[in-house]
Amino acid sequence: MSFQPVKFYQTGTFTVGNRLLAPDERSEQANPQRSNSINSGHRACQGCGEALGARYAIDAAMAESNGQLIAVNATGCLEVFSTPYPESSWQLPWIHSLFGNAPAVATGVAAAMKVKGRKEVRVVAQGGDGSTTDIGFGCLSGMFERNDDVLYICYDNQAYMNTGVQRSSATPPAARTATTMPVGPEPGNVFGQGKNLPEIAMAHGISYVATATVADLRDLEYKVRRAMGIRGARYIHLFVPCPLGWGTASHDTIRMARLAKESGMFPVFEAEHGEVTGVLKIRHKVAIEEYLKPQKRFAHLFGKHAHPEMVERLQAIADRNIRKYGLLDEGSN
């Protein structure tokens, strides 16, 4: 079953580590010997959620595969800021080909390892929401359908940030991007479009699909380790706030991820063979405004020419998530 939190130990499993917990009960990120898969000196913006999420996820995968890991990267922020030729921040074998073919390249790497009899070498493919939900979607669907032995991690920051914040099919309704202008009767991104990739992945019936955020490290590490323990196609959708594209303070990255989860806007769950098997419950429920207000991409919903009806529609989306996944639990924390 799902991640078991330590009930009470001052900060329990909410913090990265805890001097009162035994070392094996702490997160991989608390480990002084963590692999630091994406090393210092990368050129991500201040407070980058994706750089943080990538280290969280890949360090856990490295720990689980005893360092026998190859990463395939799609085009996107993560690739650009980590590897400006000839420099690289990556501390593991890493390959980048095109924007849209990372799942296919990963399939090839996995096949090559199989041919060479290197069963211990595992393959992870990764990309942003642009390469995952739009450009590389066909390759990804094929990888799922063939059940290739790859863990695909999508770092979802809800737009094409690297090229100047253009809308992707993961951009939420009402959000302003360079291509969804904050003017007109229905400003920002439209309602009722876009893709829910975790559910699409589940529809392929693959063995493991999970969502996670950079605000719940222990849950994320549990899911990566769980996925690494399975062979075949697996998918993790990791929510990574983007200070630049969202117009949030660089110190608020983790707080934004936490508010997305606590408001119900981003449901955190895991699924096996297309069936939801566990959810991370909301601990202190917040109204959607609390999540929206710190973000400049939603600024046009508030203030002088406010759009309370759009805020209500966003709240309705959050409420639907809460109902659908059972995110609220009476008497839980």
Partner 1 sequence: MLNKPFAITLKPGTSLANHTGTWRTARPVYLDRLPPCNNACPAGENIQGWLFHAESGDYEQAWRVLVENNPLPAVMGRVCYHPCETACNRGQLDEAVGINSVERFLGDEAIKRGWKFDVPAAASGKKVLVVGAGPSGLSAAYHLARMGHQVEIQEAGPLAGGMMRFGIPKYRLPREVLDAEVQRILDMGVTLKFDTKVANIEQSMKQGGFDAAFLAVGAHIGKRTMIPAADAAHIVDAVSVLRSMEGEDKPMLGRKVVVYGGGNTAIDVARTVKRMGAEPIIVYRRTREKAPAHDFEIEEALQEGVMIKWLSTIKQANEGEITVEKMALDEKGFPQPTGEFEKLEADSVVLALGQDVDLALLDGVPGLEIKDGTVQVGPNMMTGHPGIFAGGDMVPSERTVTVAVGHGKKAARNIDAWLHGVECKPAPKHEIATFDKLNPWYYSDADKTVRPMLDIIRRQTSFDEVQGGLDETNALFEARRCLSCGNCFECDNCYGVCPDNAVIKLGPGKRFQFNYDYCKGCGLCVEECPCGAIKMVAEDI
For residues 238 and 220, is the Cβ–Cβ distance under 8 A? yes
Strands 269-272 and 275-279: antiparallel
Of 89 and 180, nearer to partner 1 (C-beta) is 89
What the block records as the tokens of 136 is 């590389």
Q: What angle do CA 245, 248, 249 make, to 5 degrees?
A: 130
Rounded to the nearest whole angstrom, what is the least distance from the CB of residue 40 to partner 1 in the complex?
Answer: 4
For residues 182 and 176, is the Cβ–Cβ distance under 8 A? yes
Binding residues for partner 1 restricted to 5-24, rule: CB under 8 A: 7-12, 14-20
The dihedral region occupied by 67, where left means phi > 0, alpha psi between -120 and 50, and beta the remainder, is left
Burial of residue 248 (number of CB atoms within 10 Å: 0-12, 13-18, 19+): buried
The pattern of x and - marking residues 84 through 113 that bind partner 1 according to CB under 8 A reads -xxxxx------------------------
Burial of residue 262 (number of CB atoms within 10 Å: 0-12, 13-18, 19+): buried
Rounded to the nearest whole angstrom, what is the least distance from the CB of residue 298 to partner 1 in the complex?
Answer: 20
Of 21 and 74, nearer to partner 1 (C-beta) is 21
Provide DSSP, 200-266. HHHHTT-SEEEEEETT-HHHHHHHHHHHHTS-S-EEEEEE---HHHHT--GGGHHHHHHHHHHHTSS
Strands 234-239 and 151-156: parallel
With contacts defined by CB under 8 A, name the span among 37-45, 139-147, 302-310, 313-321 that binds partner 1: 37-45
- Determine the Cα–Cα distance for residues 230 and 107; give it in Å rounded to an integer: 16
With contacts defined by CB under 8 A, name the span among 40-48, 95-103, 148-156, 192-200 that binds partner 1: 40-48
Rounded to the nearest whole angstrom, what is the least distance from the CB of residue 32 to partner 1 in the complex?
Answer: 5
27 binds partner 1, rule: CB under 8 A: yes
| Among the listed residues 57, 139, 174, 217, the single contact to partner 1 using CB under 8 A | 217
Binding residues for partner 1 restricted to 173-192, rule: CB under 8 A: none
| Among the listed residues 2, 25, 43, 191, the single contact to partner 1 using CB under 8 A | 43
Rounded to the nearest whole angstrom, what is the least distance from the CB of residue 84 to partner 1 in the complex?
Answer: 8
Of 50 and 149, nearer to partner 1 (C-beta) is 50
44 binds partner 1, rule: CB under 8 A: yes
Of 7 and 304, nearer to partner 1 (C-beta) is 7
List residues binding partner 1 (CB under 8 A).
7-12, 14-20, 26-27, 29-30, 32, 36, 39-44, 46-49, 51-52, 55, 82, 85-89, 217, 243, 249-255, 258, 284, 333
